[in-house]
Amino acid sequence: QIKACLFDLDGVIVDTAKYHYIAWKELASNLGFEFTEEDNERLKGVSRMTSLNILLEIGGITLSDEEKHRLAEKKNENYRTFILKMQPDEILDGAKEFLQELKAKGIKIALGSASKNAMTILERLELTELFEAIIDGTKVTEAKPNPEVFLKGAEALNVDPSECVVFEDAEAGVEAALAGNMKCVGIGSPVVLGKANLVIDGLHQMTYEKLMELN
Ligand code: G16
Ligand code: MG
């Protein structure tokens, strides 16, 4: 019996990837190399430090941990100038409506995101109140595909993992959901997210009825 839904943030509720991209691209440019949109795909759903490590690998650059922390901090400051200007109209099509439908039907809702900026983003989008639990990058030690972020979400909602459905746009996120013994709806390409129980283009295609069919 499905009792709860757990949502990834970037790529499911909002497209912050475009702002991450601008900030990483600028950092790469300062370091003297090009960072492409294709490169950016590799950073989706991945933590800030891992993202930086991938970027430095692309640029063929080796740095001390201290220098890496400084650059990650600099990138985040730049990224935050964009998210602090976000507006509720940037919520992806159908996301708010689906969250409201779930709430009306008594389904519990939690966030399961790798981002340490998740609280700021939810506030800017005026979505905070719809979430009963928020598990973000400040509350986990293991990155997806480890199921920690979703298991903590289920625990906070006081439901069994088998009663949860996760909504994810990244392959590692789908793997995390399944590893946690949860069902998963993939948002994006069936080629990439093939392991999910259902793959859709976006939450505008999701309804309470479709959710119940996953039972
Ligand atoms: C998001 C993005 C990732 C980003 C990560 C950490 O994950 O998809 O690209 O690197 O958060 O973000 P921050 O630097 O804000 O802590 P998710 O899990 O919401 O898709
Ligand atoms: Mg994501």
Give tens-digit pLDDT for 14-53. 999 999 999 999 999 999 999 999 999 899 888 999 999 9
Please report which confidence band the pLDDT of residue 115 belongs to, taking 50, 70 and 90 as the band edges. very high
User: What pLDDT score does 45 carry?
Assistant: 86
Residues of the chain above pLDDT 70, percent: 100
Indicate the residue type of 203.
L
User: What pLDDT score does 44 carry?
Assistant: 87
Indicate the residue type of 60.
G
Q: Is 8 annotated as a binding residue?
A: yes
Q: Is 195 annotated as a binding residue?
A: no
Please report which confidence band the pLDDT of residue 153 belongs to, taking 50, 70 and 90 as the band edges. very high
Contact present, 2 and 215 (Cβ < 8 Å): yes
Report residues whose beta carbon is within 6 angstroms of any ligand 1 atom.
8-11, 20, 43-48, 51, 76, 113-117, 137, 170
> Does the predicted model carry a pTM greater than 0.90?
yes
CA distances from 118 to 83, 87, 124, 127, 204 (A): 10, 14, 10, 11, 22
State the ipTM, two decimals. 0.92
Ligand 1 atom at shortest distance from the alpha carbon of 11: 20
Contact present, 148 and 182 (Cβ < 8 Å): no
